[in-house]
Structure 1
């Protein structure tokens, strides 16, 4: 919140400065036209002073950080203009400088926000047992040994052990695993996971501040704080341009002893092409990427995107859809696929399990009319049984359905099933009717996107997943990654990002809470915002607003073009400024005309920078 307030104050500060400069320029002009040149000079001087004072403060802050910026040239030109009796030239320079500051502040203000969304996911209260009575308490009051009730859909507030028979948990935000997991009695359940099944009891094993989810939040904050602030491209040329300006001014004084010529050199040297053109080009590029559904949070992020050499991608929800879908239905004689799916989906309408949701969606997509189930009995984490259209239906694990089918198992139907897949057995009227195979599918656009990244200049592709190593290896081999890493914890993903820095700027793409620290640690973090978690969107510098990967490749092309145009603008602007300094040193450009010439250079450079919008 403090960072956000600081950005707001900075923008207001820039608006105030440009207001002073513009008001003084207009008021002084009116006085000059009304034949009050002396009063006009005082007005122009008064309008310049606030901008100059603010500039001195900024220079002092930069020097304390060890940065020598081009702001020094602007300060020299304004100071010299006031000292040599050229207030109009000073006011024109102040106007140009204040306008550049406003544009730059706008570009930096698009940078990523604080981790408010990540903190927002942390549960604020929990249902705690006090004897046999439930009480809602703040999570800060929870201690090790407290017994909690976790309802369906609740996010676990603390790490704990399951105290009832089974807990069905959605761990995708923590581990990247798309399929729900059954945690049996006595098993450990991690904070940040969501309850995907019936309510269960949890015994806290550590307070919230020491739990897994709080650790992830701290990882993100540490990764963000370790990154250097955005450095203006213009400042990379600061020392050389400053030295050149002082040299030309000094030579002009030694040769001519003419203070007006020296002033003209300093005025023409005002580095507004650098201050203005770079943010305009980057903002233009950000506008273009936004129209593609790619939100880039700052000019520094766009510049970093243009230089990426290594791309690290999470598996679940990034190169895969992150949701289990039916890949196959295997049937026994006498049963049709549609009949099995309809019976299972009809019964699962009474279940809150995430796999039940996948079956229902699949049946509806095939146009199957579902019937209302009756006499439903669900055994959490194991299966569900009931009556559908007068027939006994059981849906669940192989053992669950076998117990209701004369202990006849479906082992023959399970042969050659991909170990990464999940299977659901279906029993009808005491017989095993078949099995339904579900799997998290690789995105159709994943391979073309990876190929396009290589064509765009990316030298190394890494798959980093919290899922099992064998599953990650299979996906990585299918898509042609250079390196595949599985079974990664959030801090291991951060380590993977940092280990790749030696190969060049790193981009990390992910969608879950477990990806947030790595997104913050990477040079460029990209979050799948359409279906990803809010925390990963806040940690990332780029958010994909559409559930596609292809726009990311196009955004990289836009970023590289925008950076190229910004660099062109810098070189052209500096070249024209140096030429103008030469004319000024020869006496062909008086101070005011020199300031106006520099303004013309600014306009030309900005128009060039706006090409990034096309």
Structure 2
């Protein structure tokens, strides 16, 4: 039988292992009260043996895996209690141990709730349009370009875009946002989103295995299978704790000559909170972070995230939106601002240039009706000219438009660092000058201040952009250092250098950030718009395109680690105190078993507090609230 088969068999047998000692304990107490002490002792022994046998199998299995565990203490205590005739204590220990295992399973299941919910929501099939009808197909059969019907309540099976009409989507399982969002025709839809409105058509842009939700599921499965250094610490100290327990028990027996005191010591030490509190608290932290839209790839990452002291941040697409946005329109004739923008955007539909797409997006965002461009001719890198609704329109760089109008090229240094200037001419007259820039994410100043309040000592900007742009971007934002004009390998060097203050986090979103993300103690990728390479290299993926979401992630990591340590220290302290009291004869074996179970229940319930973390501390919560405010603050607009 393989190890996975043994694991499944043990899980199936757990309810019976709880029922047997419970029934045996009750039956034995009935016999004892009826004056049949010998029969009661025999029943208690029989009730203990199945649990002890299962525990021995568990110990052998873990040893075959090269691991040791504190379950050995439980086996030793039950064996000692049976050998010295303390059958009632042995039955109580058996019941408490089996019940404790069930309690730990319940707590772990409760702690994994948000992560398990993500896995359970994976759709299996989809409705695809084909030959004028609908067919139900498995996800693997969906290809880019397929048109799918998403009914109310359905989960988007693949990444795509709205193929017509309006979609009302519930993205709470992915991002933690409770309010549904609207997506219009052509707008992107993340796989894993739930249709909260009427049915709509989705045009697939990726295969299921390559879509956002499939990647999230893989990351969740990876996180669930991980173990943190703190959790492995329990294994390292298992034999030491066993040696300490046996020493105290041996000294009590040798000094007093009473083996029952040794049994009481062993019983009080069964099992140790070290093996219960740590995994429950850390898994609860992973689950809580997932609920906030922060996917942490395992308990080890959670631990390190809670200890971060330095942060290196990429610029384009991370600190900024990563795409140009319209900042200002300076009119030069009598045409209304919206009319100038409408005509310019109508013509720019003929271009794939990022600046052209930004102008079109701005016009559509204002609800302007765009016309169809006619005779559009694009001069690559300079501009476009053509006709819109019978009017001659030219859109492009100031020099390009000036030449089309037969004017002298404008003098001066051009745009400010990081910004782009676009001229618009209508019917042979200069109509307006548009200024576009890569906008600073809203609340960036408060976000950086919040990081300081969370204990981050150094914040460094690392960008491949020109130094003049980087300095313009960071002016007044309080960065400790600005590193510009960096190649990917130079970003790695920055990350390594910053380790002088402690564990370093790198936040980025592009392919060029992947090496630095992998080199950092904790790499954070902007998963919503970031590249697959950055998400794969990172340790943490932000499922929503908001930089400030890392704040609750850090707070949850620190809180979960603190709760785990608190539970361990309190549990071990109480166990040691109980062992000393038992060695001095103040606690009987039965009382010791009941005391230890109370300790175990207390530390597990305390570990589950990690499910309620963040933003919990008043100052951190206030900082997060300010950083997530949609108002533009401090740094104003950031230029590319």
**TM-score in terms of structure 1 length:** 0.69
Paired position in structure 1 for 2:606: 608
- TM-superposed deviation, 1:23: 4.7
- TM-superposed deviation, 1:460: 0.7
Residues 528-567 of structure 1: per-residue CA shift (max 9 Å, x gap): 2333335534543333334333343244334333333322
- TM-superposed deviation, 1:52: 2.5
Equivalent-residue separation in structure 1 for 2:78 and 2:487 (angstroms)? 55
| 1:349 matched to 2:352 | no
Paired position in structure 2 for 1:365: 365
| Contact 1:245/1:265 (<8 A) preserved | yes
Aligned partner of residue 425 in structure 2, secondary structure: strand
Paired position in structure 1 for 2:308: 308
| 1:50 matched to 2:50 | no
Decide whether aligned partners of structure 1 residues 101 and 467 sit closer, same or farther in structure 2, where only a CA change above 3 A counts: farther
Paired position in structure 2 for 1:543: 541
Aligned partner of residue 525 in structure 1, secondary structure: strand
| Contact 2:294/2:553 (<8 A) preserved | yes
Equivalent-residue separation in structure 2 for 1:10 and 1:301 (angstroms)? 29
Equivalent-residue separation in structure 2 for 1:533 and 1:557 (angstroms)? 26
Written as runs of structure 1 = structure 2, the 5 A alignment for 1:572-591 is: 572-591=570-589
Residue 558 of structure 2, aligned match among 560, 573, 578: 560
- TM-superposed deviation, 1:599: 0.6
Aligned partner of residue 411 in structure 1, secondary structure: coil
Residue 21 of structure 2, aligned match among 10, 18, 25: 25
Written as runs of structure 1 = structure 2, the 5 A alignment for 1:374-385 is: 374-379=374-379, 381-385=381-385
Aligned partner of residue 272 in structure 1, secondary structure: coil
- TM-superposed deviation, 1:359: 0.6
| Contact 1:426/1:435 (<8 A) preserved | yes
Residue 498 of structure 1, aligned match among 496, 499, 517: 496
Paired position in structure 2 for 1:91: 94
Name which of structure 1's ranges 11-20 and 38-47 shifts more when overlaid on structure 2: 11-20
Aligned partner of residue 229 in structure 2, secondary structure: coil
| Contact 1:280/1:606 (<8 A) preserved | yes
Equivalent-residue separation in structure 2 for 1:51 and 1:453 (angstroms)? 47
Equivalent-residue separation in structure 2 for 1:520 and 1:601 (angstroms)? 41
| Contact 1:310/1:461 (<8 A) preserved | yes
Name which of structure 1's ranges 95-104 and 264-273 shifts more when overlaid on structure 2: 95-104
| Contact 2:45/2:82 (<8 A) preserved | no
- TM-superposed deviation, 1:451: 1.0
Aligned partner of residue 479 in structure 1, secondary structure: coil
**Aligned positions, number:** 495
- TM-superposed deviation, 1:597: 1.6
| 1:41 matched to 2:36 | no
Equivalent-residue separation in structure 2 for 1:308 and 1:425 (angstroms)? 46
Paired position in structure 1 for 2:265: 265
Name which of structure 1's ranges 569-578 and 514-523 shifts more when overlaid on structure 2: 514-523
| Contact 1:306/1:556 (<8 A) preserved | yes
Decide whether aligned partners of structure 1 residues 415 and 493 sit closer, same or farther in structure 2, where only a CA change above 3 A counts: closer
Aligned CA RMSD, in angstroms, stands at: 4.0
- TM-superposed deviation, 1:474: 2.9
| 1:246 matched to 2:249 | no
Residues 87-123 of structure 1: per-residue CA shift (max 9 Å, x gap): 5255236426644774797679969x9xxxxxxxxxx
Decide whether aligned partners of structure 1 residues 311 and 391 sit closer, same or farther in structure 2, where only a CA change above 3 A counts: same
Aligned partner of residue 370 in structure 1, secondary structure: coil
- TM-superposed deviation, 1:271: 4.3
Equivalent-residue separation in structure 1 for 2:486 and 2:584 (angstroms)? 67
Residues 458-517 of structure 1: per-residue CA shift (max 9 Å, x gap): 111111223334323332344221122233344443343233223211122222333344
Equivalent-residue separation in structure 2 for 1:401 and 1:55 (angstroms)? 80
Equivalent-residue separation in structure 1 for 2:246 and 2:590 (angstroms)? 20
Decide whether aligned partners of structure 1 residues 378 and 277 sit closer, same or farther in structure 2, where only a CA change above 3 A counts: same
Equivalent-residue separation in structure 1 for 2:229 and 2:422 (angstroms)? 55
Give unpaired runs (5+ residues) of structure 2: 32-38, 119-218, 613-640
Residues 235-278 of structure 1: per-residue CA shift (max 9 Å, x gap): 37657644432321120121233333322212211243222223
Paired position in structure 2 for 1:387: 387
Written as runs of structure 1 = structure 2, the 5 A alignment for 1:393-472 is: 393-398=393-398, 400-406=400-406, 408=407, 410-412=409-411, 415=413, 417-472=415-470
- TM-superposed deviation, 1:446: 1.2
- TM-superposed deviation, 1:331: 4.6
Decide whether aligned partners of structure 1 residues 560 and 579 sit closer, same or farther in structure 2, where only a CA change above 3 A counts: same
Equivalent-residue separation in structure 2 for 1:443 and 1:330 (angstroms)? 24
| Contact 1:544/1:552 (<8 A) preserved | yes
Written as runs of structure 1 = structure 2, the 5 A alignment for 1:476-515 is: 476-515=474-513
Paired position in structure 2 for 1:531: 529
- TM-superposed deviation, 1:600: 0.8
Paired position in structure 2 for 1:118: none
Equivalent-residue separation in structure 1 for 2:362 and 2:408 (angstroms)? 25
Decide whether aligned partners of structure 1 residues 460 and 91 sit closer, same or farther in structure 2, where only a CA change above 3 A counts: same
Paired position in structure 1 for 2:128: none
Written as runs of structure 1 = structure 2, the 5 A alignment for 1:96-107 is: 98-99=101-102, 102=105
**TM-score in terms of structure 2 length:** 0.67
Aligned partner of residue 500 in structure 1, secondary structure: helix
- TM-superposed deviation, 1:345: 0.4
| Contact 1:104/1:279 (<8 A) preserved | no
- TM-superposed deviation, 1:403: 4.6
Equivalent-residue separation in structure 1 for 2:398 and 2:495 (angstroms)? 40
| Contact 1:78/1:93 (<8 A) preserved | no
Equivalent-residue separation in structure 1 for 2:6 and 2:414 (angstroms)? 63
Equivalent-residue separation in structure 2 for 1:401 and 1:78 (angstroms)? 89
Equivalent-residue separation in structure 2 for 1:10 and 1:312 (angstroms)? 46
